Structure 1
Amino acid sequence: MTENNSINKVDVLSVFFDNVTLMEMRNHIKRFFLADKTKNLFIVTANPEIVDYATENETYRKLINSADYVIPDGTGIVKAARILKTPLKTRVPGIELMEECLKIAHANKQKVFLLGAKNDVVQKAEQELSKKYPNINFDVHHGFFDLADEMVLKQVTSFDPDYVFVGMGYPRQEQWIERHAHRFNKTLFMGVGGSIEVLSGTKKRAPVLFRKLNLEWVYRLFIDWKRIGRIKAIPKFLYKVFKMRLYK
């Protein structure tokens, strides 16, 4: 797979984003399952931290640019695209796209594998989601294992899932998908970061007001000061964006 430099993509620091809305993505996913093909679908939900990391790691940048869709999960990405004079329509939060997938899976009575988080958290997520989506057949495994672990892979492949949501944080979640996707047929793969924790109820998503004001990251910082180290990536990201704008 090669880096996608398509003119239909929006270039933010050499990560190529699809200019889509949440509902457009929902329709793409519905069409994927209706199509008479066995190929998989790989979706990357990229925020400023991921893009900043990708600017310094060529292998990872090529990996995420090889995805079928790279979605702008973060207000910073939308603002960066505007600064670079190549605006994106809107932010597409990864957790909301995951929820749209779950609605499709529920309607189609499909199989969903949750791979990530701590064992008790992913088990709780399965319990909560099974109540909300009784037509979905779920299986789970925690995210604390070696990426080459064949026993974990065997559990996932033998389940024959329609969706695999990998919540192990970047770059591990995308690396696991790249390493193992060829062992599956017609499966949707998506790295979902901390969404499994939110859907389990063990971690709260930002209140609606914070989301509307595009300040979800501020709320996350308030409730988890350990994120302060990760927040440092944002000014680095913005500096690189303004530098790119200057030399464009």
Structure 2
Amino acid sequence: MKHVNILGVPFSITNHSTLVEQLNQHIQKHEKSFVITANPEIVMRANQEEAYMKSLHRATYITADGIGIVKASRLLGQTLPERVTGYDVMIEMLKLADLNHYRIYLLGAQRDTLEEVKKHIQQFYPHIQVVGSHDGYFDWQHNTISEEIMQSSPDLVFVALGAPKQENWIAEHIDQFNKGVFLCVGGSFDVIAGKVKRAPLSWQNKNLEWFYRLLQQPTRWKRMLALPRFSYHVIRQKVKRSL
């Protein structure tokens, strides 16, 4: 698959439907894959933390979870077709899992949120086998999560630890597994559990989902400072290429 290099991060040139189809093929073939959906904040963090950048480079696919990434690709001359968000991919993979009776493992969020997610899946996707789960509050160095995942042999592992933990956790453990799609889904568990409301489609279509989330969670404003820094560095990258 072709890539767009944006500040050192290789974004896969793919759209939502193509990615979902490819992930399903990986499952059908008992292959392993690691999916990151990255926004400008993740890109900027990777440029500040070498270890995190290495984690991103372990991924099979990195998609544009943010209109800023798509616009940056246009500026750099290799257009990414559209946003491919962790939440949207998770929902489509749940539909496929229900259709094909796939096995899934859930990692992340608070314990009560995780229980609500499992109830939601049992209600709306009754043919999915939830073979294991663990909340996102654990001792990083001393836990048996990877062993539990290996023993339960899931087809899909949804990791909702938030950035950078989810990417780092998968990168650190991916070599232990022979199969399975490992998907970073950020705050998707909170949305599914009804703890956080996703932006209405009208806001999403206008590329204002980030602003809707900021209105819901004003404490995110410091994180938004990554956006102007990201824009500045992308412009610098374009200028360097043109010299």
Same fold (TM over 0.5): yes
**1: CA distance between counterparts of 2:147 and 2:140?**
12
Q: Which residue of 1 aligns with 2:147?
A: 154
Are 1:202 and 2:187 matched, yes or no?
Answer: no
**2: CA distance between counterparts of 1:227 and 1:129?**
29
Are 1:174 and 2:152 matched, yes or no?
Answer: no
Q: Which residue of 2 aligns with 1:123?
A: 115
Instruction: Identify the range of structure 1 (59-68 vs 41-50) with the bigger mean alpha-carbon deviation.
Output: 59-68
Equivalent in 231, 234, 237 of residue 230 of structure 2? 237
Q: SS in structure 2 opposite 1:188?
A: strand
Query: Per-residue displacement from partner, 1:18-54 (whole Å, max 9, x unpaired)?
Result: 111111011101211222xx54111111111101111
Q: Which residue of 1 aligns with 2:15?
A: 21
The 1:136–1:217 alpha-carbon spacing in structure 2 relative to 1, beyond 3 Å, is same
**2: CA distance between counterparts of 1:155 and 1:19?**
34
Question: Is residue 160–residue 184 contact of structure 1 (8 Å, CA) maintained in 2?
Answer: no
Instruction: Identify the range of structure 1 (209-218 vs 95-104) with the bigger mean alpha-carbon deviation.
Output: 95-104
Q: SS in structure 2 opposite 1:25?
A: helix
Equivalent in 215, 218, 224 of residue 208 of structure 2? 215
Q: Which amino acid aligns with 1:174?
A: E
Q: Which amino acid aligns with 1:193?
A: G
Query: Per-residue displacement from partner, 1:59-114 (whole Å, max 9, x unpaired)?
Result: 21122122111111111100111111221111111110111111111111011111
Equivalent in 19, 24, 36 of residue 30 of structure 1? 24
Q: Which residue of 2 aligns with 1:133?
A: 125
**2: CA distance between counterparts of 1:93 and 1:15?**
17
Q: Which residue of 2 aligns with 1:74?
A: 66
Q: Which residue of 1 aligns with 2:87?
A: 95
Q: Percent identity?
A: 37
TM-fit CA distance, 1:134: 0.3
Q: Which amino acid aligns with 1:81?
A: S
Instruction: Report the count of equivalent residues.
Output: 240
**2: CA distance between counterparts of 1:10 and 1:100?**
24
Question: Is residue 9–residue 16 contact of structure 1 (8 Å, CA) maintained in 2?
Answer: yes
Q: Which residue of 2 aligns with 1:3?
A: none
Equivalent in 40, 45, 54 of residue 37 of structure 2? 45
**1: CA distance between counterparts of 2:189 and 2:106?**
8
